[in-house]
Structure 1
Amino acid sequence: MTTRRIAIWTMALLTLAAVLWTGWWFYAGRFAIASLQEWAEDQRANGYDVTFARVDMAGYPFRIDLTVRRFGISAPGRFWAVSTDETTVSFRPWNLNRYTLKTAAPVQMIAAALPGTRQSPIVAGSVEGTFHHARDGQTHVLELVAKPISGPLGLSVKEVGLIGERPARRATDHEATALSGRLELVDATAPALFPPGLPNRVTAAVLDFDVLGPEPGQHGSALRRLSEWRDGGGSIEVREIALAWEDLNLRGEGTLALDSDMRPIAAFALDASGVPQTARRFQEAGLIDDRTRRFIELGTGLLSLGRSNSASIRVPISAQDGILYVGPVAVGEVQPLIPGYNPAPAAVAPPPKDDFAPPPPPPTVSEETLGADTPPRPVPVPVPVPSQ
């Protein structure tokens, strides 16, 4: 009898535990769906366009999988937009602060700062990652890996990794860190970014940075919020920037900001190796002559004196007033971060243009104008005749 009672109580306790666990599982899933809907409403109130068809819940009993169908989000004015047909957010019912993300369909992205993406979006075959939603003054951490990636003008990337950290407290001054990130790129091809005759494959690239400055308000367009960040003394401290392109290897650090015309202001110091080999490639491509190549090789030799690696030199690169400098030499122009941005009003308003007015008659040319290039003919002076 005692054994039977123990078995009955055990079954009853197990049944009660299963019922309670099932109730908690459904509660946690519904809470997550409600949080997603609340987040979407908050973004819409701030001017973003967030859409999704429906959310399906699965994964019982030890996991909650929320599959979002036809998800899309775009910034005001479609400054950027991201969309995918199916993405799944998963978490454990006993840990609501850590989520995993995985897409079962390609992810498309457009951005105004990336030419050609409005007509042909950048497409990632798959995206996977995790998000740690920390509390009590800790940081929020997002980790993503996207591969493979294709885009306009022949863009192709094997893999891209992104890590972003955001403090729980809002940045309020120009020295506070609003966002930290690290971007790693592996095996990229971009024919449109390189002149004909040069290799267009980048083996690897790294960008490790901190975004400093007061965070702008939640409302308003992306341009307005970017202007508020700039006017509040915002800047980007690049802790590490690295690039491996054929024989050329760059590694360094620097600072980046924006001027009143939304053009980058930059100051970087880079250690460069493989400069003579790269100069020879430029000569073979017809971009520089033999004399320029020899000057580059001579300058590389002089700058590398006293360094442990004779092939490595320290190169300062800066951008100021829309001009890009390598050392003291101006090498090109720097365009505004937002294409077509020009905040300066015209000094004098142009006269109204009549699209239906007839064109003005062609200017007439006089004989004096035709003979303007020839010296003037001498004018005869009358000679007085003596009176008789």
Structure 2
Amino acid sequence: MTPAKPKPAPPRRRRRILSTLVVLLLLLAGAHGLAWWRVTGMMAAGFADWTALRRAEGWTVEHDPPRPAGWPLAAELVVPNLRVEARGRGFAEAVGHDSERLVLRVGPRRLDRLALRWEGQQVLRLGAVAVPVAARRLEAEVPLEPMPPLRPVEVLAEDLTAATPAGLLQARQARLLLSPAWSGAEPALLAELRADGVRMPAGAVAPAVAAALGQEVESVGIVAALTGPSPMPPSAQRARAWRDAGGQLDVRSMALRWGPVASEANVRLSLDAALQPQGSGQVRVIGAPAAIQALEGAGLLPRATARAAQGVVALLTRVPPGGGPPQVELPIALTEGRLSIARIVVATIPPLVWP
């Protein structure tokens, strides 16, 4: 005896089920649309508040009318033709940024973060100097929580090009991470910067250095901690207060790989009585003879200084206990605008002019 086949649902019941599903979908779409509208409205209000605050501080902020976008995947606010310029209040010259388009975005995966994406042509301005900048990707992420603990701010650029007065500067990738801390014994600000595949402007690298080390820097990285009261925006008064409070810039690691040369340095900097940088530290170098030869060939080191440096390097070069290429560890110091390595002056630093 064959089992009885289940009877299909009556047409009226099927229509009722279908109608219920349609109503539920419409309700969900409406709720999603309402949430999107509310978040984009909050973003527009927040951007308007930020604009008003900057203008009250004397900044110039201009842009075309913002428009919401991104539905249904994210809440976005598109700000076309944004121009920001800061002047006064510690800025010796006007500092500005022009962006063809800025996109502010809050996505479902990171509701606690605001993503900023700069699109199109960008221009950085310092006084009368304008530097056009372009990148395949130029983004930043900032935390939305106003209360501690504060989270890091990250900026990422890929295929970055900047038309500087010295020539075209290029970087395959650059990443900046700023981690604010509170007070007490903790650093006021931690900064990590790494750039890979950096091609220096032709006018910024002497031909002899480029011939010896190459036109492209394989990688450069800096890890630094700024302690003490904030010296920003920079001014002589803030710099003096920062110095008197024991403020320091602790460069924990400054690494460079450029052709046959690899180096890593650490240095602790502060301000002297004339509000000029001073400090000391150590540097480890692989390929130091090639670097000295390149600097001498470029005319950046006098012949006698280069010979003395080669002699010091030959005496102090050691093979690491675990093996590897020979390296030399030398003391570095910055005093009264002179940068010295192993007590040999290798560069003169222009004095800081505080507003």
Q: Would you say the 8 A contact 2:333–2:339 is kept in 1?
A: yes
Q: Would you say the 8 A contact 1:184–1:207 is kept in 2?
A: yes
Closer, same or farther in 2 for the Cα pair 1:329/1:244, shift >3 Å? same
1:182 aligned partner, one-letter code:
E
Aligned partner of 2:255 among 242, 263, 266 = 242
Aligned partner of 2:76 among 65, 81, 85 = 65
Closer, same or farther in 2 for the Cα pair 1:94/1:183, shift >3 Å? closer
The 2-side partners of 1:284 and 1:216 are apart by 39
Moved more, 51-60 or 187-196: 187-196
Closer, same or farther in 2 for the Cα pair 1:34/1:96, shift >3 Å? farther
Q: Would you say the 8 A contact 1:256–1:267 is kept in 2?
A: yes
**2:40 is the counterpart of 1:29:** yes
- Deviation, 1:242, is 1.2
Match of 2:101 in 1: 86
Closer, same or farther in 2 for the Cα pair 1:17/1:53, shift >3 Å? same
**2:73 is the counterpart of 1:75:** no
Match of 1:55 in 2: 66
- Deviation, 1:188, is 2.3
Closer, same or farther in 2 for the Cα pair 1:216/1:290, shift >3 Å? closer
The 1-side partners of 2:86 and 2:240 are apart by 15
- Deviation, 1:155, is 4.1
Closer, same or farther in 2 for the Cα pair 1:333/1:298, shift >3 Å? closer
Match of 1:140 in 2: 152
Query: Which whole-Å deviations, capped at 9, do the CAs of 1:336-356 have from their partners, x for residues lacking one?
Result: 233xx4x9xxxxxxxxxxxxx
Moved more, 192-201 or 207-216: 192-201
Q: Give the alignment of 1:129-168 within 5 angstroms.
A: 129-133=139-143, 135=145, 136-138=147-149, 139-146=151-158, 147-167=160-180
Coordinate RMSD, CA, aligned? 3.0
Match of 2:271 in 1: 258
Identity of aligned residues (%): 22
Query: Which whole-Å deviations, capped at 9, do the CAs of 1:97-141 have from their partners, x for residues lacking one?
Result: 2233332212221347xxxxx334252334422414153523132
**2:190 is the counterpart of 1:180:** yes
- The number of equivalent residue pairs is 330
- Deviation, 1:59, is 1.6
Match of 1:280 in 2: 293
TM-score (norm 1): 0.74
Match of 2:129 in 1: 119
The 2-side partners of 1:299 and 1:94 are apart by 56
Closer, same or farther in 2 for the Cα pair 1:301/1:163, shift >3 Å? same
Q: Would you say the 8 A contact 1:272–1:312 is kept in 2?
A: yes
The 2-side partners of 1:230 and 1:155 are apart by 37
Larger % of strand: which? Answer: 2
Query: Which whole-Å deviations, capped at 9, do the CAs of 1:131-164 have from their partners, x for residues lacking one?
Result: 1415352313223215123311124122342332
2:283 aligned partner, one-letter code:
L
Closer, same or farther in 2 for the Cα pair 1:101/1:288, shift >3 Å? closer
1:27 aligned partner, one-letter code:
R
Q: Which has the larger radius of gyration?
A: 1
Match of 2:3 in 1: none
Query: Which whole-Å deviations, capped at 9, do the CAs of 1:363-388 have from their partners, x for residues lacking one?
Result: xxxxxxxxxxxxxxxxxxxxxxxxxx
Closer, same or farther in 2 for the Cα pair 1:70/1:58, shift >3 Å? same
Match of 1:18 in 2: 29
SS at match of 2:113: strand
Match of 1:327 in 2: 342
Closer, same or farther in 2 for the Cα pair 1:92/1:290, shift >3 Å? closer
Q: Give the alignment of 1:169-318 within 5 angstroms.
A: 171-172=182-183, 175-185=185-195, 186-195=197-206, 197-199=208-210, 201=215, 202-215=217-230, 224-285=237-298, 293-305=306-318, 307-308=320-321, 311-318=326-333
The 1-side partners of 2:272 and 2:320 are apart by 36
SS at match of 1:24: helix
Q: Would you say the 8 A contact 1:215–1:229 is kept in 2?
A: yes
Match of 1:371 in 2: none
